[in-house]
Structures are given as structure tokens and as C-alpha cells.
Amino acid sequence: MDNVQLEKKIKHKKRQRLRNGLSLTLAFILSMLMLCISVLFGVYVGVFNEDVILTQLNKSGYYEKVRDTIEDNLVSDLLPTGLPWQKILTNVVTLERVYIDAKQNIEAALHENVSTINESEIEATLKINMEEYIANNKVEKTKEVNEGISELSTTLTKEYIRLLQFPFVKYFIKYKGIYEKLIKLFVPIILLLIAVIIITLIKMQYYKHRALRYIAYSCTAAAIMLFLIPAYLLLSGIYQNIHIAPLYFYNFIVSYLRWDIIIFLYIGAFWLAVLSGLLISIFYLKKRG
């Protein structure tokens, strides 16, 4: 009888070790799935988020620097003509106009709409300023002068429009479309696998608090990874080591990347909150026996 009991005890321990080993393996897979879905979600709400782009454009001082760049370029175009750029660019390169035109242009591009920048109004303002200067200085308005005004106004307007362009949007739209297809494909699969593993862990353990303990291991691992990597990137500043010109675009990209990294810290905090809930549940279930 003792031998039979001993044999049963050995078999039970073997089954227990096998169950524990399988549970740990499932917990590891579960942590990887949690990490994967967190990364997919973080990239979608961070990198591929129109509101994040518009917010970081404001925070990085993008519009102010674009305005300065436009003014510098238009001044360079005007200097050879001998015309006073302060007079010619009056009501043209204002921060308010540049902000509105640039923002509307970017928003239109993000929604794949046609730009709403009023080029004719800009060109007309430039012509009026030139004609007023010529009239005040009693310069004879010949055919050549009129043609020169029209040509210069068109050139300056085109340069203004060119500097307002935001090529980043083209790539953003392209890769967001690809990413959304990946999300639709992989997220349901990952969620299904997570549900299957959790149910399997619960079914495998007689005491439910043990099953929750393995799920807690997974949450802990996911939270640690989602905290450590972003924290390292932020503290080291390695994400700033990119070579992009002009400077105002570099400032935007750095600000944009920084926010995208911070989002993963919030996701890590979410898994810590889930972990806290699991630990409380484990405590009460264990207490109840």
C-alpha cells in the first residue's frame, strides 16, 4: 500500500511539474502577445495619429520657423530687384497667414483633400504692394514694368507655396494605410490567442489564484519591457540622433518621436494597473482558499 501511495505521489509531482512548466511557457507566450498588441496599439495611436502630428507641429514651433524661412527666401529673391522687401512683403508673410495656410495645407493633405491655400490672394497682395511702391516713387508704368511685376509676383507666390509643403504627410498616408491592414489582420488573431491562453491557464489550475499568478507574471513582463525600453530612449536621447534638414522639420520630428515614445510608458502603466487588479484578486482568492 505504501508503494502504491508513493508511486501515486511521484506521478502527481511529475504531473504538477509538467503543469507548472507548461503554465510558465504559456505565461511567457502570453507576455509576448501582450507586448505585441501593446506595440501595435501604441504605434497606431502615436505614430499614425493625425492629432499627434498637428499637436507636435504647434509644440515644436514649426509654423514660426516656416514663417522665418519663407521671409528669408522671399527677401533673397527681392534683393536683386532693389525693391524694399519690408514694403513688398507687407501683409504677405505674417505669422497669422503662414499659420493658417500651412495648417490648412497639412490638414487637407492628411485627409487627402485638395489644398485650400488662396494663391491668387497672395499674388494680388504682392502686386498691390509693388504698384503702390512704384506709384509713390513716381516710376513710369510701362509694359515691361507691368510684366516684371506679374512675373515677380508669380515667382514669389510659387516660392511661398513651395515652402509650405509638408512632404512627411505623403509617407504618413501611404504607410498608415499599410499599417491599418496589418492591424485588422493581426489584432483579432492576437486577442484570440490571449483569450485561449488565459482560459487554458485557468482550466489547468485547480486553484484559480494560481492561474491568476501566471497571468500576473505575463503582465509584469509586458509592463517591464514597455517601461524599460522607452525610458532608456528618453533618458539617452538616442532618438534625437537623426540628420534631417531643415531645422524646423528636425525639431518637429524629434518632438513627434518623443511623444510616440511616451505613449508606451502610458501603456506600460496600464499593464501595471491590470497587474494591481490581479494581485488583489489573487490575495482574496487565496484567502478564501
Contacts of 54 (CB under 8 A, 6+ apart): 103, 106, 107
Those residues whose C-beta lies under 8 Å from the C-beta of residue 229, and which sit 6 or more positions away, are 264
Q: pLDDT tens digits, residue range 87-136? A: 999 989 999 999 999 999 999 989 888 877 888 899 999 999 998 988 88
Q: How many CA atoms lie within 13 A of 157 on its CB side?
A: 17
Which tens digits make up the pLDDT trace of 253-287?
A: 999 999 999 999 999 999 999 999 989 988 888 77
Residues 15 and 102 in one domain: no
Is there a single domain that holds both residue 62 and residue 156? Answer: yes
In a domain, 175, yes or no: no
160 in a structural domain: yes
Indicate the pLDDT class of residue 8, thresholds 50, 70 and 90: low
Q: Which domain holds residue 28?
A: 2-46+186-288
Domain contains 174: no
Does any domain span residue 132? Answer: yes
Mean per-residue pLDDT of the chain = 89
Task: Give the pLDDT of residue 207.
Answer: 74
Is the same domain home to 195 and 272? Answer: yes
Examine the domain organization and report whether 35 and 69 are in the same domain: no
Q: Is residue 118 part of a domain?
A: yes
Contact 70, 134 (CB under 8 A): no
Asked if residue 233 and residue 147 are part of one domain, the reply reads no
Q: Over range 234-248, report the average pLDDT.
A: 91
pLDDT for res 48: 94
**What is the identity of the amino acid at 107?**
E
